[in-house]
Amino acid sequence: MKFDLNRSIEILSNTPSVLESLLHNLSDDWLHANEGPDTWSPYDIVGHLVHGEQTDWMERTNIILFSDDKRFKKFDRFAQFTESKGKTIHVLLAEFRKLREKNIEHVKSLQLTEDKLNMTGIHPSFGEVTLRQLLATWVVHDMNHIAQICRVLAKQYGPETGPWVEYLPLLTK
């Protein structure tokens, strides 16, 4: 599918509800479970998404559109481990929803044209990237972390599935 801003906003707008539905009223056993050392729990992932809404997608969009210096700052992929301390999952989900709604409104207000979507910034690792690529990545990033949360949760019962494991690629890939 070719990038379409309106279709992207469909996914981006739904992510807070998906996360709330998936994680609402789960015990800490589920929320803080992970896949082993140096992996993330659903709680960690939501914290990461909050941090991205605060410091990544809109900051880089604004650099591309409005800054003379097109270089992106390096994104701290692990900031959630300090920034989320002491917060409940409900607080993180509420923060995420509020930030996401604000960011979507900002994107809509930019009235992005094809020319604007083709404008570029400089990623610290990838070099030149377009706004279209950045926004498409935002959408896929959401889906990637939703899938990650589902995988982490599923793997908690992996050994309990017995012979059905062969029919559950979420557990084997």
- Residue 170's pLDDT is 92
Separation of alpha carbons 129 and 123, rounded Å: 7
Domain boundaries, the chain: 5-172
Cβ atoms within 10 A of the Cβ of 50, count? 25
Going by C-alpha positions, the residue among 141, 131, 152 that lies closest to residue 22 is 152
DSSP 8-state code for residue 75: P
Model's pTM, two decimal places?
A: 0.95
Task: State residue 98's pLDDT score.
Answer: 98
Q: Which CATH class is domain 5-172?
A: mainly alpha
pLDDT in tens, the chain (173 residues): 999 999 999 999 999 999 999 999 999 999 999 999 999 999 999 999 999 999 999 999 999 999 999 999 999 999 999 999 999 999 999 999 999 999 999 999 999 999 999 999 999 999 999 999 999 999 999 999 999 999 999 999 999 999 999 999 999 88
Helices (H), the chain: 5-23, 28-31, 42-55, 57-66, 80-83, 89-109, 114-117, 131-156, 169-172
pLDDT of residue 110: 97
| Separation between Cα atoms, residue 86 and residue 72, nearest integer Å | 30
pLDDT at 173: 80
CA distance linking residue 128 with residue 124, whole number of Å: 9
